[in-house]
Amino acid sequence: MANKRIAGIIAVLLIGSGCAAVWHPSIAPLAARPAFPTEQIARGAELAAVGDCAVCHTVSQGRPYAGGRGVPTPFGTVYATNITPDPDTGIGQWSEAAFQRAMRDGIDRAGRHLYPVLPYPHFTRASDDDIAALYAFLMTRAPVHQTTRANDLPFPLDNRVLLAGWNLLYLNTGPWHPDPAHDADWNRGAYLIEAIGH
């Protein structure tokens, strides 16, 4: 009897944590694009270069950051999205909180799971300031109206809900911890490689 009750409690806990991991609220759209200090934008440009954002998010001969490049995975192709500030097809309606959630937890503004082809398991270690700088940089690029094509993934991998399970197993969120055995320069380099350079 006691065993059954314990099994029941465990089942309820698992289902509860599963639902919490699957469901994420949508974050309200931005009404207007904010302005950013020039130094923050410049810092974001450097970080975007270290993080190779343009490499995945631009097709050859395409407009920078407008997306469309197919990133092959062992299961199929995931297309990098438009991360220019176009309000309809890019991230123009994303608040900084929405951007930070995508970078840290792999959840888009609407609350959908993103494939870990976007290296959020690494970006999750990035500092608030660095994520804010990347956001400032992207939100001040020229908006490009370009819809990203649908991913080529077989059933059931085309179902983003499965990523909640992947995240529970593999995503380890939390800040980057400096190694006290090394100096600040070493740690800054290690952080850039691990958290931004992925």
Tell me if 82 sits within 8 A of 93, measured CB to CB: no
- Look at the alpha carbons of 69, 173, 17, 100 in this order and tell me if their dihedral is positive or negative: negative
Q: Which amino acid is at 153?
A: L
51 binds ligand HEC (CB under 6 A): yes
State in angstroms the smallest separation of the CB of 78 from ligand HEC. 4
Tell me if 157 sits within 8 A of 149, measured CB to CB: no
102 binds ligand HEC (CB under 6 A): yes
Which lies closer to ligand HEC via its Cβ, residue 15 or residue 97?
97
Please, which residues have CB within 8 angstroms of residue 61's CB and are 6 or more apart in sequence? none
For ligand HEC, which residue of 30, 41, 48, 195 counts as binding (CB under 6 A)? 48
Cα separation, 80 vs 55, whole angstroms: 10
Which lies closer to ligand HEC via its Cβ, residue 18 or residue 116?
116
Cα separation, 137 vs 7, whole angstroms: 50
For ligand HEC, which residue of 30, 56, 144, 195 counts as binding (CB under 6 A)? 56
Which lies closer to ligand HEC via its Cβ, residue 46 or residue 187?
46
Strands (E), the chain: 70-73, 76-79
80 binds ligand HEC (CB under 6 A): yes
136 binds ligand HEC (CB under 6 A): no
Residues touching ligand HEC: how many (CB under 6 A)? 22
The one-character DSSP state at 143 is P
108 binds ligand HEC (CB under 6 A): yes
For the record, the structure tokens of 174 come out as 């939390």
State in angstroms the smallest separation of the CB of 31 from ligand HEC. 19
Q: What is the contact mask toward ligand HEC in residues 81 to 100, using x (rule: CB under 6 A)?
A: x-x-------x-------x-
78 binds ligand HEC (CB under 6 A): yes
Q: Reduced to 3 states, what is the DSSP secondary structure of residue 113?
A: strand
Greatest CA separation for the chain: 67
Catalog residues that contact ligand HEC under the rule CB under 6 A: 48, 51-53, 55-57, 71, 78, 80-81, 83, 91, 99, 102, 108, 114-115, 117-119, 134
